[in-house]
Structure 1
Amino acid sequence: MQLLSDALLRVQPSATVGISQLARQMAQAGTDVIALSAGEPDFDTPEHVRAAAVAAIGAGKTRYTNVDGIVELKRAVAAKFRRDNGLDVTEDDCFVAAGGKQIIFNALLATLNPGDEVVVPVPYWVSYPEIVRLAGAEPVFAQASQETGFKLTPEALEAAISERTKWVMLNTPSNPSGAAYSADELRGLAAVLMRYPNVHILTDDIYEVLVYDGREFATIAQVEPGLAGRTLTMNGVSKSHAMTGWRIGYCTGPREILKAMTKLQGQSTTNACSISQWAAVEALNGPQGFLTGWREVFQERRDMVVARLRACEGLDCLVPEGAFYAFPSCKALIGKTSAGGRALATDEDVVMALLEENGVALVHGSAFGLAGHFRISYAASDAELIAAMDRIEAFCAGVR
């Protein structure tokens, strides 16, 4: 008798988690490793947010809460969506979970059936297609590339939609590429989606505050209100407020879907951590001025990392418009041999050779659906980034 479920056997392990865990194991064994494989701000959670958590503990706010979040946080979420995104919502239109990943998991598991399809633009965050498969549905990949700025075109979206499409996934700014859709680019996608009234949209806006060069963030229900009734807009405090470990994600969307998500969450984790919820209230309602300084630091790091990558023999890199990732092409290295003698047949070979021979942990592009690239996170200190770039440059120079 088979022990594991068919659903689980359809799912691949997370490559980002796997590489990061391997890097930690190597470091614990004494290897000098610079890990740029995880997507986590290196800043501390702001002091006023931490103070709110301590105050919540002191006040005894350590009990179960409503499954979909405390009213105070849902009000703060609704206020954020009105203030920053022009979405006319109230707390009754909002939902809270233990991280953005649980929002996506809840939404897809609550709505998908075998035979349903979900359009997933390539390159994609590693968990999107796996959550779709776990729900029994099929991901349909809509191809983007370096030539399109890693952005989905209206033509590619139209070609991917079928009568079985239930959801279209969007992610802006993007993990892994850093591509950020402008309002006009989203309008082009929205024009396609307006012709398919049975297709819902799940937009992952977790990197909203990290857009560079004076760009304005836009989300699809904002630029096309006609889609608001079938759009789930997801966000969280992990990237914006350096609260990855606090595990708070939130969303707004159709109440029928939120009700289904509440039912599902009520039979899984129930509420997100009560203390984290109170901290998130302060994160959303409190001072936001520090975000400008953080964004400036990330942009400076981006500029340095991209310049250094472009100087490496065999690498080519677009300038990311947001998030804190670069996604360079390493196609010119494939088919060659590393200085340590490893045959570089794939982008995964490039990444593993770089880790084993030069001690830099990155994630191969094929894990994100686009071979011939790798993802580097510049959410690290300047010293770590400079040292890592020195090692990457040395590795590329040694390839023959």
Structure 2
Amino acid sequence: MNILLLGSGGREHALALKMSQSTQCGQLFIAPGNAGTAQCGTNVQMGVSDFEQIKTFCLEHAINLVIPGSEEALVNGIYDFFSEDAALQHIPVIGPSREGAQMEGSKAFAKLFMQRHNIPTPAYREFNATSYEAGVAYLQQHSLPIVLKADGLAAGKGVVIAATHEEALDEFEQMIKSAKFGDASKTVVVEEFLRGIEMSAFVITDGHSYKILPEAKDYKKIGEGDLGLNTGGMGAVSPVPFADKAFMAKVEDRIIRPTVEGLSKEGIVYKGFIFFGLFNIDGEPMVIEYNCRMGDPETEVVIPRLQNDLLELFSAVAEGTLAAQTIYADVRTAATVMLVSKGYPEAYEKNKAITGIPAPTGDQIVFHAGTRQDGKTILTNGGRVLAITSLAADLSLALVHSLQTAEQIQFEGKVYRRDIGFEFI
């Protein structure tokens, strides 16, 4: 089959590589892609939300399957665009409808959904410009610390944990009155702060049945010891040591099953990945957030451990036959270390030449994120540049191998964390 994958990050390189290994894979196109995806298929200079251009491309290239990698196209309604167009209805889109994508696109939408289906999540209130003064009063009496979240999409950076009431009030004003995160912070969700350890669970669903994929834990802070600014993710590990059978049984019973059943009961079309951002609080799982796609850099540890043919799974989603599938996972541990540009997640420079990237092996893959190719030279083209994933018998060994390669790869201003998985080693 001919496939169009939308996106340009490390997640898309991981998905592209996995799909390219399938016997069902014909032509694979990635829009816009990066220097790594170009090794798996053909990059196409096309915006992920330029639906008219995507339509023309799909019809001209006999595309059989569309995979939106990131949330942007899904929240903007690419599933609905295809399903409502007579010329495109025969092409499955692996992802939720516009309404289903609101599980990520609006934190307030997701919170209300969880309330309706008794899914455990921190207590919260939401405020906007109309209720601004009520929000100020609420924050002034709120216990510390205080979690403020931009309701909409903010590229993983719309969450602030305020240590003081003054900081909370300042952030609240910046979000709503100064549009710190643009339209995303027109509504702000103020959430109860909970002390626990985070992890991510993933399922793929055809709207009725679901299959649980390998879990992961990512590391958002730029600095070692989980210090500094939030990023899109500085690394990840899979499996997660505390996510044993007993814990994951709670996750499935209290969170995954009620979510999939709730979407179905409410008539919300959802055929694709669901990402569950979870807190483990003394052995009890709680939902922090939903995403309507795979995470990044979690995909770079989950997909290397997935032993299934990814296109077989996608076909089963499209055909509604996912219940017949069985998920197989590599027993080894995967550890990803992200190389980022100096200055990230704030201002950074691009177009730095990269050298020393090793060829993939059965034990290690370097996934491209923010890269582009100019002739034979690979250049930096983003804040997060490369994700080095190693597989080994245990986490310590996997991390050692990723860090060795992190030293080997060179580009001006290279930054990375050496303590990914630190709390488990």
Query: Same fold judged by TM-score > 0.5?
Result: no
TM-score by length of 2: 0.30
Looking at both structures, which has the greater relative contact order when contacts are Cα pairs under 8 Å and sequence separation is at least 6? 1
